[in-house]
Amino acid sequence: MDDTRGVTNRLLFAKRRLDELTKLGGVNSGTLLQAETQQRIQEFFFHLVGAIDFLAQAINDDRKLIVDEKGEVNEGKVTVAAVCQELKKLQDGDSIRTILNQLHPKTRGEPLPQDPYSEEGSLFRIILFRNHVCHYGRNPFCHRRTLGGRQEEPLTSLVLDPRDRENRESSCKPAIEELTLFWQLVKTKCEQILSTYQGKAV
C-alpha cells in the first residue's frame, strides 16, 4: 500500500479533538454541553470516520478495484461499500473485507444492536454519531446527576441513539470514556488491515 498517511493523519486529528474535549472539562464538570464543544465533537467524528473512508481509498489504490475505462483508479466512485463489494471477488480479500464491513456498518433503517456497548454496537453508534453530529449539527451529550457520597455529582454522557430525539436515553458510561473507546476501536481495526500489507508503514 503506497500511502497510508491519510488514514493515520485522520486518526491523529480525531485524537487531538478528543484531547481538547477532555481538557475542556473531562467527565464530570458538565462543560461538554456548552456550545464551544460542538465544533470539536463534529471534527472528532468527521476525522474518525474519515480514517475509514481514507482506508477504503488506500485499499482501492493498491488493488485497483474500482477503475475507469482507462484502467485508472476512479476516486469519485470509491466508497467503503463499493470496495467491500469488489473485495468479495478476490480470493485473498475476505479478511480485509470483514474488518472493513465492521468499521462501516449499514445503519439506515437498522435498529440499534442489542448490546450498544459491544464492539458491534460501538461501531454502529460511531456511524450514527458522525451522521447526526456532522450532517445535522446535533448535540450528542446528556448531562445528569448521580448520587456520589453525600451529594449529587454531574455526569456527562453520550446519548445511546442520536436518532431518538424524543427520549434521548443516556449511555451509562461517561462521554470521554466512550469517545476514547471509539477512537481506539477504529484505530485498532484500521491497523489490522494496514498490517496485512507487509513492509508498509501503518
HSE-CB of 190 using CA atoms within 13 angstroms: 31
Return the domain boundaries, the chain: 5-138+175-194
Per-residue model confidence as pLDDT tens for the chain (202 residues) = 556 888 999 999 999 999 999 887 654 455 555 667 888 999 999 999 999 999 999 998 888 888 777 767 767 788 899 899 889 888 777 889 999 999 999 999 999 999 999 999 999 999 999 999 988 878 898 877 655 544 455 678 999 999 988 888 999 999 999 999 999 999 999 999 998 864 444 3
User: pLDDT by residue (tens digit) across 17-60?
Assistant: 999 998 876 544 555 556 678 889 999 999 999 999 999 999 98
Task: Classify residue 130 by its DSSP letter.
Answer: I
DSSP the chain: ----HHHHHHHHHHHHHHHHHHHHHTTTSSGGGSGGGHHHHHHHHHHHHHHHHHHHHHHHHHHT-SB-TTS-B-GGG--HHHHHHHHTTSTT-HHHHHHHHHHS---TTPPPPSSTTSHHHHHHHHHHHIIIIIIT----EEEEEEEETTEEEEEEEEES-TT-TTT-PEEEEEHHHHHHHHHHHHHHHHHHHHTTSTTS--
Three-state secondary-structure class, residue 58: helix
CA distance 85 to 170: 35
pTM beyond 0.75, yes or no: yes
Q: For position 102, what pLDDT does the model report? A: 95
